[in-house]
Structure 1
Amino acid sequence: MNASSSDPVIDRLNAILARLRAPDGCPWDREQTHQTIKGQLLEECYEVLEAIDRNSTQDLKEELGDLLLHVLFHSQIAREQGNFSFTEVAEGLSEKLIRRHPHVFGEASAKNAEEVTVHWERSKREEKPERKSLFDGIPRELPALLRAQKYQSKAAKLGLDWKSWDGPKAKIAEELVEVKEAVAQGDPKRIEEEMGDLLFAVVNLARHLRINAECALSGAAARFRSRVQFIEEELRTRPPGNPPELAELELLWERSKALAQERGTPPDVS
């Protein structure tokens, strides 16, 4: 098993991790397993996304380094167990990229992104013949919005899809009526189910509009937080015992949106 790479920078990183995991290395690093650090891997992925959203090149560089650390850490643990090394991870990735891009490295052709996707999916089926369902390979741990969108995209390959965004738009109106009926009945279980169907329909609309529902909701949540924090700052100047009226809060909300627009932040939709 080849445990080294051809890149001196990666070789140095691998050597540092091996030293940290050595019997006389760092007690914390030596105790870690694939299971104990998997939660931190997820956190690092989200921090990379935050750096991208902040449009901070410096933060993105640092967060990508932290993410790479986890790839190397898991590879080091696997190497110690006699399973695989980082070099094998990199080699496997190189072979996969070449295999899944026959229009670049082979005889096939692809005129647009849709044709590229066809090559990619065909290659995946050939690589993993044990997968019988379209949904095989989609992690159940994905956030619900992202998982729902992936399920819908897979189902669309069977023809289970609307031809335009008018379909999911009408479905949202239908599901909203059913939510109202469930609320009128006062059945908590049915309310939850109908709310789930409504959210699922909204995700479908986002997919038809070529919007990532997870990113869209994340952006909306970030804008909401920013607006509320602005209002908090403004209200700190008020004397105690003098709560604001709703009209004033709405005015502050609109002012926060205007300031965001001046700074180049995309305006809120509400």
Structure 2
Amino acid sequence: MILFDELIELVRKLRSPEGCPWDREQTRTSLIPYFIEEVYEAVETIENRDAEKLKDELGDVLLHVVFQTVIAEENKEFTFGDVLQNIRDKMIRRHPHVFGTDPASSPEDVNRIWESEKSREKSGRILGGIPKGLPELHRAYRMQQKAASVGFDWDKVADVWKKLDEEIGEFHRAVGEKDKDAMEDELGDILFALVNLSRFYDLHPGMALKRSNDKFYRRFSEVENHYNEDKKNIQEASLEELDTVWNKIKRCEKNI
């Protein structure tokens, strides 16, 4: 706690008239892009299982928490004590199976209790606690989770597969009619159905897409490296040539 207090005082100093001009002029909203970037860097480090770097990235995230709270203190809105008490009280409320008498014998029971309490805190709105600024795949996943927590869900995964086929058919029809608005609407329904499918298989769609993005980035970078090493211009390569190099890289990956 001494080090934490020292970090708070450090940020207060940076924000003071004798501090740093850049830090002093920052606002809640001006810090948002940096905050988001630090969170993503922490997530990437977790995925890379780099504990040493994670120590550094978590510190960067914590700095933003402190920064935002110092700004709130300056505006006389809330204090660090308020932040800590709020999260402590919230965790106690959402764990009545630990700190109360509500039984929970499985992770599913715990999730039900958590979502029920969270909904109550958000004035009873089931979807009220989902930030609209979430990446859309994650937002869809959370909406489906919350709806499922009150029983609004497919009975079995076969029904989800059927729904996906139905949405693909509707998209094909919209394409045939060259109706751009309908195409966008139906494509969204396909993605929403895919999110449902991933949920039934206990997979997160955002993480699945990230894996595919990372895989494509890695392989295409290798294609670029191939042409750079041969001192050839990739922009002059034919699609057939690019496919040949791509497939070679793909085979090499699978043989590792």
Task: Give TM-score scaled by structure 1 length.
Answer: 0.87
2:180 matched to 1:191?
no
Unpaired runs of at least 5, structure 2? none
Give 4+ residue runs of structure 1 displaced > 4 Å after superposition: 238-242
**Structure 1: gaps of 5 or more residues:** 1-6, 264-270
Residue 122 to residue 154, structure 1, CA distance change in 2 (3 Å): closer
- The residue identity in structure 2 corresponding to 1:124 is K
Q: Give the structure 1 partner of residue 74 of structure 2.
A: 80
Structure with more of its chain in helix, by fraction? 2
Indicate which of 232, 249, 259 corresponds to 2:224.
232
**Aligned 8 A contact 2:95 2:114 in 1:** yes
SS at match of 1:63: helix
Q: What residue is the counterpart of 2:22 in the other structure? A: 28
CA shift, 1:133, in A, is 2.3
Is 1:256 matched with 2:256? no
The count of residues paired between Structure 1 and Structure 2 equals 254
After superposition, the C-alpha distances for 1:203-238 in whole angstroms (9 at most, x for unaligned) are 111111111111111111111111111111112216
Cα RMSD after superposing both structures:
2.0
Instruction: Please give the per-residue CA displacement for 1:216-266, whole angstroms capped at 9, x wherever unaligned.
Output: 1111111111111111111221645962452x4344333333444466xxx
Q: Deviation at 1:95?
A: 2.1
Q: How far apart, CA to CA, are the structure 2 residues paired with 1:66 and 1:239?
A: 41
The one-letter code of the counterpart of 1:67 is: V
Deviation at residue 190 of structure 1 after TM alignment: 1.1
2:48 aligned residue: 54
| 1:94 pairs with 2:88 | yes
Among 101, 108, 116, the alignment partner of 1:114 is 108
Distance 1:262 1:89, change over 3 A: farther
> In structure 1, what is the Cα distance between the partners aligned to 2:154 and 2:133?
27
Residue 19 of structure 1 aligns to which amino acid in structure 2? K
Which range moves more in the overlay, 236-245 or 163-172? 236-245
- How far off its partner does 1:158 sit? 3.8
Cα distance in structure 2, aligned partners of 1:66 and 1:259: 37
In the alignment, residue 171 of structure 1 is paired with which amino acid?
Answer: K
User: Take 1:43 and 1:22, find their aligned partners in 2: how far apart are those partners?
Assistant: 25
Matches of 2:131 and 2:249, distance apart in 1: 38
Percent identical pairs in the alignment equals: 37
Q: Whose relative contact order is higher, 1 or 2, with alpha carbons under 8 Å and at least 6 apart?
A: 1
Change (3 A) 1:202 1:16: same
Within the alignment, does 1:70 sit opposite 2:69 as a pair?
no
Deviations 1:149-173 (A, max 9, x none): 1111222234332122212211111
